Structure 1
Amino acid sequence: MVIKDDGLATHVMNKTAAFIWEMCDGKSGIDEITESLCERFDVSFQEARTDVREIIEKLTQLGLIDQVEETTGS
């Protein structure tokens, strides 16, 4: 369960969503989260990638995370 910082909303997550939310630490990119999800739940990369993208989008819509563009070092 996640309680939004304004205390006005409570969100219950399944195991997959909770795992992804915990991985959204500002350091892990989508690929890293996807690979970790594959290892943790024994799912294909494609299935995990779809779940990660959908859940991150939902968490962003709910205001639980801020999504930033991934950058590559130059």
Structure 2
Amino acid sequence: MKPAMVGDDMDLTAIPALAEGAIYRTLDNEAVILNVDDGHYYVLNETATAIWNLCNGRRSLQDIAALLCGEYDVSPESARASVIRLMSDLVQVHLVVLNRPADA
């Protein structure tokens, strides 16, 4: 798969996958993540943890946003904005990689 665009122009068909250097545990509905490449720890709140747990390398960003709509009763626009914002942050710190769908 080819890398997908990051930032405001993020392609919602991009498929996020956890980076190889990311080790995590979920505690009290929050994810604690270690980037083994740089030794930094990150903590995600409940909503961000839900998004993180959906990044399985098979679902698109659009799919993840749609699942959030049902789980948290938020608008599609709000869900998409949350997913894009979190993915941008996680890609920047090398915890997630975004790939284009195989048919793109």
**TM-score between both structures, scaled by the size of structure 1:** 0.86
> Which protein is richer in strand relative to its size?
2
Which whole-Å CA distance do the structure 2 matches of 1:8 and 1:56 have between them? Answer: 20
More contact order relative to length (CA 8 Å, sep ≥ 6): 2
Which whole-Å CA distance do the structure 2 matches of 1:72 and 1:41 have between them? Answer: 31
Structure 2 residue runs of 5 or longer lacking an equivalent are: 1-31
> Which protein is richer in helix relative to its size?
1
1:31 matched to which residue of 2? 62
2:95 matched to which residue of 1? 64
1:10 matched to which residue of 2? 41
Percent of pairs identical after alignment? 29
Q: Secondary structure at the match of 1:63?
A: coil
Aligned length: 73
Which whole-Å CA distance do the structure 2 matches of 1:17 and 1:71 have between them? Answer: 26
